[in-house]
Amino acid sequence: MNKPKSKLPLAFLILIFTVLAMSSCGRLNSLSPTPPALAISLTPVQVSTSTVLPTATEQALSGTISLWHSWEAPYLPALLRRIAAFQTLYPNVSFDVTYVPQVDLRNAYAEAALEGREPTLLIGQGDWGPELYERGFVEGISGMASSELLNIINSAAIEAARYQDELIGLPLHIDGVVLYRNRRLIMRSPATLEELVALSIDATQGEVFGAYLERGFYYSAAHLYGLGGALISDGGNPAFNSPQGLEWLSLLGIFEQAGPTTNFTDDDLNLFKEGRVGFIIDGAWNRNELSEAIGASNLAIDPWPVHASGGMAGFIRTENLYLSPRALSETQGVSWMFSEFLLAPESQSALADVGLIPALSGAPSVIDTLPISISDPLIAQAMRALVDSVPYPHHPDMAFYTSSLETVIRNVFEGGVDPAQALGDAENSILELIQSTRATATPSP
């Protein structure tokens, strides 16, 4: 095997591209609300690797992968390293990488797609997918993704990337709502909600609360799914006015036994950072902030406790890899091959190294069989906790549900309204809003 060349060219490349991306972000944002993109053309780069040299078939693969993204430091270097590793395997494949600030990426991609100049790959937020797919700007990939690939990805993340029974993107990394615990105040993870309450009561003393749990819609509605219920039926109608809906409100009522509750405020977060709360429900994206506040050794992300007919749960969110129509016209499918490459355990480990939560499943039956290395214990814990997550519903009427269910929560727990009545009123309100919207959208003959 030939001796690999020095690592210096890759390190230098990553440094330059990181500086360019970061400086361009500030410069472009200051010039106009819709800035031009920063394009970076990458030719094959050889790096030090223990991988066996590519075979003749691998070397024969050729083409150009165009990729748009909004990654900045510290994430961009990980992406560039994986590009270099792919080019080591396939030296005849080149990359045209374009950075667009996050605030502009969605619209810039849509405008490019309208003009037929979109890239072959887009790294974008999961909630962009349905609109881009309906407009024909991204392709369905159900027929391309093998069962072997899908089986190692977080199943909730896969469902979050589905729309109208079609897989419209590959989850690249994940995030979501989780249960945090201060180890200094509460030593063990609760298996059930009842145990969480008991541990919280034992830890409550003076100005210290055992728990300060969140009831705001985005942080609590997934519990309904954890109990076997749903917000929206397959036909697009309200589904929460059900026995599971009543059980969901009962679960939220139990929160008061554990300690104070909040409805979309930062009171719980701030007290937790002061070391005065044992349990909170918050986003996994705040883990570094919380770790710095109370100490890494004191912070834990626990699996969701079970309760009654199911258990607690949180919504998951993803950043996806999207294939454009141009990707399907490639003779050798190099963009799809690179997409699969980014879901390989080595690539997912590289994302974890820069602070992203891999999209691979954290279920022991999966993760224990993969050659993946996670050095950050909080990322490993988040992967395990997000196994039991719930995809946020992709539905055009979700705004009606958000406002109506927020009203239900406030009416029941602040206004003393009967839960069954509150759910029935919300269902009627949503149906009226849906009918009104449809009537407005349908012109009279």
For the stretch 169-187, pLDDT in tens is: 999 999 999 999 999 999 9
Which of 12 and 433 is assigned the larger pLDDT? 433
CA distance 170 to 161: 7
Helices and strands in the chain: count of H runs, count of E runs: 20, 17
CA distance 266 to 277: 13
For the stretch 269-292, pLDDT in tens is: 999 999 999 999 999 999 999 999
Rounded to an integer, the average pLDDT of 118-123 is: 98
Rounded to an integer, the average pLDDT of 426-441 is: 89
- Average pLDDT of the chain to the nearest whole number: 88
Rounded to an integer, the average pLDDT of 380-407 is: 95
For the stretch 40-98, pLDDT in tens is: 444 443 332 333 334 445 558 999 999 999 999 999 999 999 999 999 999 999 999 99
Q: What pLDDT, on the 0 to 100 scale, is given for residue 54? A: 43
Q: How confident is the model at residue 234 (pLDDT cuts 50, 70, 90)?
A: confident
Question: Taking 50 as the threshold, does the pLDDT of residue 32 lie above it?
Answer: no
Question: Taking 80 as the threshold, does the pLDDT of residue 357 lie above it?
Answer: yes
CA distance 221 to 230: 9
Residue among 325, 283, 341, 316 at smallest CA distance from 161: 316
Q: How confident is the model at residue 297 (pLDDT cuts 50, 70, 90)?
A: very high
Question: Taking 90 as the threshold, does the pLDDT of residue 29 lie above it?
Answer: no
Q: What pLDDT, on the 0 to 100 scale, is given for residue 57? A: 52
Among 35-39, 71-75, 243-247, 257-261, name the one with the lowest average pLDDT. 35-39
DSSP state of 126: G
Q: What pLDDT, on the 0 to 100 scale, is given for residue 50? A: 30
Q: How confident is the model at residue 442 (pLDDT cuts 50, 70, 90)?
A: low
Q: How confident is the model at residue 235 (pLDDT cuts 50, 70, 90)?
A: confident
Q: What domains does the chain contain, in order, with CATH numbers?
A: 8-174+317-391 (3.40.190.10), 176-316+394-441 (3.40.190.10)
Q: What pLDDT, on the 0 to 100 scale, is given for residue 59? A: 56
Within 10 Å of residue 1's Cβ, how many Cβ atoms? 6
Rounded to an integer, the average pLDDT of 158-171 is: 96
Determine the residue type at 140.
G
Q: What pLDDT, on the 0 to 100 scale, is given for residue 60? A: 82
Task: Give, for 28, the enclosing helix (H) or strand (E).
Answer: helix 8-31
User: What is the value of pTM for the model shown?
Assistant: 0.87
Question: Taking 50 as the threshold, does the pLDDT of residue 2 lie above it?
Answer: no
| Token representation of residue 232 | 């929206």
- Residues 23/101, Cβ–Cβ less than 8 Å: no
| Token representation of residue 1 | 């095997």
Q: What pLDDT, on the 0 to 100 scale, is given for residue 282? A: 98
CA distance 445 to 436: 17
Q: What pLDDT, on the 0 to 100 scale, is given for residue 18? A: 39
Question: Taking 80 as the threshold, does the pLDDT of residue 11 lie above it?
Answer: no
